[in-house]
Amino acid sequence: MRLIVGFVVALALIGGSAQAQVISPNDRPPPGAGGDGPAVFREPDGQIFEAVEGGGARHKLTGFICPLEIESFTRSKLAVFDRSEGGRDVACGYQRDGSWFTLYLTRLPGMSGEAVFRTYVRQAEDAAPPKGEATAPLAPGVPPLPGFSRFWINASDQVDGLWMSQIGDWHIKLRVTYEVQDEAAVKAFAEELYRQLHDQVAAPEI
């Protein structure tokens, strides 16, 4: 697997089919993606993600279910960055008005969480250069809390940032851009998402 320098913006999809969409060149995967190219879906594709009761999309490799909705944020996309990797680089996107999240599940055997997190931060700051500093709405800590965080104010006076945790070989990044007035909802989303992740993804089973 090769490292690439990319950055991420939310991609809102329209229509109800599971047909693959052209992915934005800004919506590149985190370190580890291969060469088949990305595809974005509104609904589970049945291969990497499978549909489950209640509108959830289960990522087959980890067992994690990307819910249809979390804390008033609605799922807007599912992304598979390289099908030849069998689902080792995927994402679930969520949106509410001018605020959005993208959750990345990336399998990177042998790579330390700290090193991967530094790469993620560099990518994110290249995409949205910091204008000022901000405090993470959810402080990192012991699981189920995320292990790392970095937040700042961007040029549009929104808050930009990311959290990351590691379960086994899986590096789990939650990237967010949000309006300041949405901070309480952003914190609630992150708390619930990381709780679900640590309930559903067990390192020995990956």
Q: How far apart are the first and last CA of the chain?
A: 18
Confidence tier at 33 by pLDDT (50, 70, 90): very low
pLDDT value of residue 19: 33
* 123 part of a folded domain: yes
Q: Is the pLDDT of residue 7 over 90?
A: no
Structural domains of the chain, count? 1
* 45 part of a folded domain: yes
pLDDT value of residue 84: 85
* 3 part of a folded domain: no
* 5 part of a folded domain: no
The 10 Å Cβ neighbour count of residue 156 is 12
Mean pLDDT of the chain: 83
Q: Is the pLDDT of residue 206 over 70?
A: no
* 15 part of a folded domain: no
* 50 part of a folded domain: yes
Mean pLDDT of all residues in 90-94: 97
* 54 part of a folded domain: yes
Confidence tier at 23 by pLDDT (50, 70, 90): very low
Structural domain of 88: 39-205
What the block records as the tokens of 175 is 């990237």
* 138 part of a folded domain: yes
pTM score: 0.81
Q: Is the pLDDT of residue 192 over 60?
A: yes
Mean pLDDT of all residues in 1-14: 30
Strand-strand pairing, 99-107 and 49-51:
unpaired
